[in-house]
Amino acid sequence: MISVKRNSSLLMRKAYDAIICCAGYETRARYAISTLSPAAKYKVVLVFEGDKSDNLVTNREFFETAGYRLIPAVPSQIDIVLKDVVQNVNALQKDDLSLCVDISSMNRKLIAQAVYSAAEVADQVGRSLTVDFLYSLAEYSDPGAPGRPICHRGPVIPEFAGWSDQPGDPCVAIVGIGYEADLALGTIEELEASEIWAFRPTGHDPRYDIAIDEANKGLFDLIPSGHIFKYSITEIFELFLHLESLVAGTLQSERPVLIPLGLKMFALCSFFVALQHFPNVAVWRVSAGQFAEPVDRIPSGAIQVITGHFSSRSSR
């Protein structure tokens, strides 16, 4: 259903059948598209309509000027967009459709839906979809205030709820590390996980490394040092390989639940892995809701790319 490939902004194609991106209050929302200038006949931008910030106005104007169609930023729109893309290029009789999806300002629900819908559409129409996922890495920002309550925790979308063949197996929590240690601790406690693994990002900024260690001291105290995997933020394909290997191993005797806090590229890799082992792996979204502090993410200048190739079951 899905294979994942290494890619970079230097190697990605220049033109696609469709481009999907997202605009909110973050400055980086337009950075990857404005820098790389990928072309496509079908271009849409998901817009968080409740946001009235100046940045959103600027982002909307950029995408409108660039010829993007504005649609509401809700997960159901992703599926509609992908089906529209297929209908729009049907006349070309292409076996493989190409998409560019910029996840920089998408929330985890939108990213999860993009991954799942790509697989579903490929299966329904009997064609392959090759999707370049872009991510504009942000500059360092200070952690917010700790101790935020959890307003939501559960499957990121219903399709990633996880349905184990062995519901009596113990639960293992696999956590992406960011600034949200309070959310991670509360979720691990609720899951009553018998084992915890953590994926900690490195190589961004020395200040980020210090802040990560400080914010997660209580969480790291619970996890054996051999269960903390450090991954480079510049080596996302290697992150996917390690995460997939760990999950495949745990499925032998445990029920893995992925908790993709931290970088969105860890979330994207979590959805890839869940799709590869569908429907046995759960991916949870954990959020402080209205208690979360909005932060304008400024682009650092680095753009990461990883490619997912989605094929129909009939083509395999």
Separation of alpha carbons 148 and 51, rounded Å: 22
Residue 268 lies in a domain: yes
Q: What is the pTM of this model?
A: 0.95
Q: Give the number of other CB atoms < 10 A from CB of residue 22.
A: 24
135-144, 221-230, 268-277: the lowest-pLDDT one? 135-144
More confident position, 281 or 205: 281
The answer on 69 and 119 residing in a single domain is yes
Residue 261 lies in a domain: yes
Residue 146 lies in a domain: no
Give the residue-averaged pLDDT of 51-61. Answer: 85
More confident position, 162 or 93: 162
For the cut 90, the answer to whether the pLDDT of residue 149 exceeds it is no
The per-residue pLDDT for range 137-147, each reduced to its tens digit, is 999 998 877 66
Instruction: Give the model's pLDDT for residue 147.
Output: 65
The answer on 16 and 130 residing in a single domain is yes
Residue 39 lies in a domain: yes
Residue 145 lies in a domain: no
Mean pLDDT value across the chain: 91
Cβ atoms 172, 255 nearer than 8 A: yes
Residue 40 structure tokens: 């496509």
The per-residue pLDDT for range 278-314, each reduced to its tens digit, is 999 999 999 877 667 778 999 999 999 999 999 987 6
Give the residue-averaged pLDDT of 180-195. Answer: 91
Residue type at position 82: L
Instruction: Give the model's pLDDT for residue 77.
Output: 92
Plot region of 152 (φ>0 → left; ψ -120 to 50 → alpha; else → beta): beta
Please report, for the domain that includes residue 70, its CATH number: 3.40.50
The answer on 20 and 101 residing in a single domain is yes
Which own/partner contact pairs does 217-224 have at CB distance under 8 Å and 24+ positions apart?
217/181, 218/181, 218/185, 219/175, 219/177, 219/181, 219/184, 219/185, 222/185, 222/188, 222/196, 223/196, 223/197, 223/198
Residue 275 lies in a domain: yes
Domain that holds residue 217: 152-291
Burial of 142: CB neighbours in 10 Å, binned 0-12, 13-18, 19+: exposed
Q: What's the number of domains the chain is made of?
A: 2
For the cut 60, the answer to whether the pLDDT of residue 229 exceeds it is yes
Q: What is the dihedral of CA 56, 57, 62, 67, to 10 degrees?
A: 100
Instruction: Give the model's pLDDT for residue 316.
Output: 47
